[in-house]
Chain A
Amino acid sequence: MTGATVSRLLPGGGYAGRSRVLLERSAIVSRRGWLAFVSGFFEPVFYLVAMGQGLGSLVGMLPGPDGTPISYAAFIAPGLLAASAMNGAVFDSTFNVFFKLKYARLYDAMLATPLGPVDIALGEIGWALIRGGLYALGFLTVMAGFGLLTSPWALLALPAALLVAFAFAAVGMAATSFMRSWQDFDLVTLAVLPMFLFSTTFYPLSVYPPVLQTVVQCLPLYHAVELMRGLTTGAVHVGMLGNVAYFAVMIALGVVVAARRLDRLLLR
């Protein structure tokens, strides 16, 4: 998107082109809370070790994206990668943003400066991406260590993780702008947890009856898992462009809604 397109879609006067400064702030903050930052990497690794080994021992091999049997660990690892991209982005763009919006009044302080709502939205989403990208890199390294990356296509899993994280962060931020109290965050859990469990993360689509298969195929995390599983196993096909398009639409919708809503919320 060019600058001109952005400014036509987004509220006027809301963008000073300085969202980079928010990244500086986040970097300074995370230097102090580095332990929390690093710990975010371990959760998917714990899942991979436990589920890959333990659950894998109960089911043996599963059919991969192109039908070739793969180990259970190789099956769930890309699923966990996609899910952790989602979880990180959603957490950053909902709980964190809501806290800064309602309690820390941090954005009010920023808006007393030349910064506008669009700078804030892009800056926060940008940081969620940097963090998500680092976690994805770490997880891919662990996967490589376990011998779960079998194709050079796997290199593309990193940008794919960023794409997925961007989409969830944008939509998450848009959703946060509608939230009134912490009670509403039950809805976030209500959306994220079922998606984590049912988007073919832990078992193939064929487990479901046909009707449910269609439902699952509508979920964003399903498309993320498809994308990752294709790339890490090397079963790449043209249909994956559809998965990419799904996230492009999410990003566009999320950014526009988030910026407009923030404008309404902060500039009353």
Chain B
Amino acid sequence: MTAPTGIVPGHARGVLLVVEHFWTWYRRNWRATAVSSILQPLLFLLAFGVGFGSLVDGAGRAATGGVPYLVWLAPALLAVSAVQSAAFESTYPVLSAFKWQRVYHAMVAGPITPAQVALGHLAWTVAKITGTGAVFVVVIAVFGGVAGPGIVGSLLAAALTGAAVAALVMAFAATVENEGGPFNALFRFVVIPMTLFSGTFFPVDRLPEWVRPVAWISPLWHGTELARAAALGTGRALALLGHVAVLAGLLAVGIVLVTRLYRRRLTR
């Protein structure tokens, strides 16, 4: 008989091994999601940036600070699509890994810890969102929506927003036992209102007074403000610092929650 060959990986390495697992899967299956994750934001860009944008006249121009509607919309779309994929990738795939395919259980049967599983899956999701976003930046540029190199800053802002949302949603998904109800409610009552009321398509001050607070608690609003400021070179330093602080705070809370809840669910 030969000696056992397994070793216990260090903390960071364990996380990377989890990322490697998802990357291996993705290399075989990327076509299935690539089309929808690029095409969906592209369609929104065309419908609103180009189509609807052609209606935005003098009065509307004042709202965008004088830049064409397409250029004004593009960085925000980058943020909104990061949030949407973050939310989607952190719901059904997570439940599936806990319940149907039980991929997580297979991972923790070896020397990998639940916290490494949580952080590895989160890191993978963020990497994927960022990659998709980078491709989308090129697409936007083709349609004339990029004003300058600041768009790289928008991409980073979108990635940070996506990371915060992914961590929080993964933590939520770790508590969900059955598909259907909880995720439907999350999309209907959190994700969709967030995409509509976070200043993506129009400035938040155009909303009725009583709806505006919805934007302030929305991570997407902070992300959108950052992304737009980076792309257009607008915004005041203090406000931007505030947005970054809020998103980083949410991400930190999400990481604490998600590692705890993964541990609870995988060691029961």
Q: Which residues of A contact B (CB under 8 A)?
A: 33, 35-36, 39-40, 42-43, 46-47, 49-51, 53-55, 57-60, 62, 183, 186, 189-190, 193-194, 197-198, 202-203, 207-208
Contacts and interface: CB of A to CB of B under 8 A. Distances in A.
- The A interface is mostly helix, strand or loop, or mixed, namely helix
A50 B196 contact: yes
A53 B39 CA distance: 27
A53 B208 contact: yes
Interface of B: 32, 35-36, 39-40, 43-44, 46-48, 51-52, 54-57, 59-60, 63, 69, 180-181, 184-185, 188-189, 192-193, 196-197, 201-203, 206-208, 211
A208 B52 CA distance: 10
B60 A59 contact: yes
Nearest to A50: B196
A50 B197 contact: yes
Contacts of A58: 55-56, 59-60, 63, 69, 202, 206
Contacts of A43: 188, 192
Contact of A42 (B40, B55, B69, B188): B188
Contact of A197 (B43, B202, B203, B211): B43
B59 A202 contact: no
A203 B201 CA distance: 14
Given A53-B208, A58-B63, A58-B202, A198 B188 contact: no
A79 to B, nearest CB: 12
Given A39-B188, A54-B201, A189 B193 contact: no
A178 to B, nearest CB: 18
A193 B203 CA distance: 24
Most buried by A among B52, B54, B60, B207: B52
A97 B264 CA distance: 35
B185 A35 contact: yes
A186 B38 CA distance: 12
B57 A59 contact: yes
B261 to A, nearest CB: 23
B80 to A, nearest CB: 13
Contacts of B52: 55, 59, 202-203, 207
Contacts of B55: 58-59, 62, 203, 207
Given A33-B181, A39-B184, A57-B63, A198 B202 contact: no
A194 B202 contact: no
Nearest to B55: A59
B52 to A, nearest CB: 5
B201 A39 contact: no
Contacts of B196: 46-47, 49-51
A183 B32 CA distance: 7
3 tightest A-B contacts by CB? A58-B60, A54-B202, A197-B47
Given A36-B185, A57-B202, A189-B40, 14 more contacts: A33-B181, A35-B181, A39-B189, A46-B193, A50-B207, A55-B202, A58-B202, A59-B56, A193-B40, A197-B47, A202-B47, A203-B51, A207-B51, A207-B55
B56 A36 contact: no
A37 to B, nearest CB: 10
Contacts of B193: 46
B235 to A, nearest CB: 20
Given A50-B196, A183-B32, A39 B211 contact: no
B181 to A, nearest CB: 6
Given A47-B196, A50-B197, A58-B59, A193 B211 contact: no
A198 B44 CA distance: 10
